[in-house]
Amino acid sequence: MIRPIAVVLSLLTLSACQVSEYYAEGRSIAARDRDIAICEAEALTTYPPRIVTRFTPRIFHPGQTTCDAAGNCVTSAGYWEGGQPYSEDLNEDLRARAITGCMGGRGYARVSLPVCSSDQQVRSSTVMAPLTNDTCVIRRGGASMIVNP
């Protein structure tokens, strides 16, 4: 029998090996990065950060009275738990959808690809390669490149 925690851990491990990237066959990496910057700037202008402070739920734990066999009783005090503040950007999802729409309008699709293993021989290119069963992503100097080994 497979334990649920083992299944969850294996799914997390597999998902950690995948990278989501914007892709358009034949486009240069520089053009993709420029288009991402343009789309991010437009989305930020249209949907600027709208930060609000929220609070975690508060729960009251009432005091309890315990008595021994002799009838001596002790009551513990009740207490509150929760109520910690945290910040949330109400426009975060809207910005992300605006970026995705903008990139789609520029001809890009979001693809999820595995990270190339460190022992794979890859050919670096300034142009996004056609997708194959072996296509993977490498990261160099903070930039991601979609390559075919």
In this prediction, residue 117 carries a pLDDT of: 83
How many C-beta neighbours within 10 Å does residue 17 have? 11
In this prediction, residue 76 carries a pLDDT of: 95
* C-beta of residue 25 within 8 angstroms of C-beta of residue 85: no
Least Cα distance to 22 among 118, 110, 124 occurs for 110
- Identity of the highest mean pLDDT range in 8-12, 24-28, 89-93, 116-120: 89-93
> 66-101, pLDDT tens digit by residue?
999 999 999 999 999 999 999 999 999 999 999 999
Dihedrals phi, psi of 37, to nearest 5 degrees? -60, -40
